[in-house]
Amino acid sequence: MQAGRTIFAQWMDFIPAHEFRRCVNRYGSNYKVSTFSCWDQFLCMAFAQLTGRESLREIEICLGALGPKLYHSGVRGHISRSTLADANETRDYRIYADLAQVLIATARSLYADEAFGVELQQTVYALDCTTIDLCFSLFPWARYRAQNAAVKMHTLLDLQGNIPAFIAVQPAKIHEIHILDELLLEPCSIYLMDRGYLDFARLYALDQARAFFVTRAREDFAFRRLRSLPVDKTTGLRCDPTIRLRSFYPAHSYPQPLRRIRYHDAATDKILVFLTNNLFLPVLIIQQLYQCRWQVELFFKWIKQHLRLKKF
């Protein structure tokens, strides 16, 4: 009796197999591989993630229990813990990084018309990072403190659909500000960042790429006011001046005017100070944009709740 295809095989139909083969051929990872291909490895790890497996031995046992159904799920190679461990250790990770970019591009096109709360024509990104703790005995290369290991996951989140456009995992000792050097900046896009990314030389490079940024300002930098625009203080706004930096190194690093917006957040009773190089966007839109940056924190929360990072 024909029982039809397994649900797992139907899910994997959403993965463009031709694009996966292109990624594999790009790095020659199937060279001299006869029994356990990169596609088999991908299916095993996807199965582990979707079913909540937490070790290689558990993956082997669960897939072995499928019996003849394993072939109809798409897996052609023999599954053993040692084979899977060797594949995870030796196969080029860039295969799956490139495949992720293909899937991200597909997902972003599906959400191109979805609103995120602010009516803008430009693409808006939220940039932030989160720390993922690791076992020091298993990951000694990721030493963070005396007896701790950790990595930082740097994420550039497209707020239209809350889809990551860029993710980089680096040792936690590396300061998050260096990730600005790795971004491929899009002209006319808006980048939302917290104070950890306040480096005027890198922000000026972003400005020269004809992109815009909105970030929080520190209290310890000198500036001179060029002009001020009137604001409605009943909305929480306090001032909207255009400024230039005065201190030698910041002024040399960022010689262009900036907007320094002071806003009173009634919910927390705090004064927030924003810096942006967009001199024409309505001031309340800038405040609303920075509030949308919270979506990247919700993305990190989702990742840590659902992504299984145990012993792989």
pLDDT of residue 33: 82
pLDDT at 3: 59
Write down the pLDDT at residue 311.
44
Backbone angles phi, psi at 228, to 5 degrees: -135, 145
pLDDT in tens, the chain (312 residues): 455 678 888 889 999 999 999 999 999 888 888 888 999 999 998 988 888 888 888 888 888 888 888 888 888 877 888 888 888 888 998 999 899 989 988 888 888 777 777 778 888 999 999 988 888 887 888 888 777 888 899 999 999 888 898 888 888 888 999 999 999 899 999 999 999 899 999 999 999 999 999 999 987 788 999 998 888 888 888 999 999 999 999 999 999 999 999 999 888 889 999 999 999 888 888 988 988 888 999 999 888 887 765 544
CA–CA gap between residue 260 and residue 274 (Å, rounded):
6
Q: Give dist(CA 199, CA 197) in Å, integer.
A: 6
- Secondary structure in 3-state letters for the chain: CCCCCCHHHHHHCCCCHHHHHHHHHHHCCCCCCCCCCHHHHHHHHHHHHHHCCCCHHHHHHHHHCCCCHHHHCCCCCCCCHHHHHHHHHHCCCHHHHHHHHHHHHHHHHHCCCCCCCCCCCCCEEEEEEEEEEECCCCCHHHEEECCEEEEEEEEEEECCCCEEEEEEEEECCCCHHHHHHCCCCCCCCEEECCHHHCCHHHHHHHHHCCCEEEEECCCCCCEEEEEEECCCHHHCEEEEEEEEECCHHHHHHCCCCEEEEEEEECCCCEEEEEEECCCCCCHHHHHHHHHHCHHHHHHHHHHHHHCCCCCC
| Cβ–Cβ under 8 Å, residues 183 and 166 | yes
Whether the model pTM is above 0.85: no
Q: What is the pLDDT of residue 310?
A: 52
| Other Cβ atoms within 10 Å of 179 Cβ, number | 21
- What is the predicted pLDDT for the residue at 155? 94
pLDDT of residue 16: 92
Neighbours of 125 (CB within 10 A): 26
- Cα–Cα distances in angstroms (integers) from residue 170 to residues 77, 164, 201, in the given order: 32, 16, 22
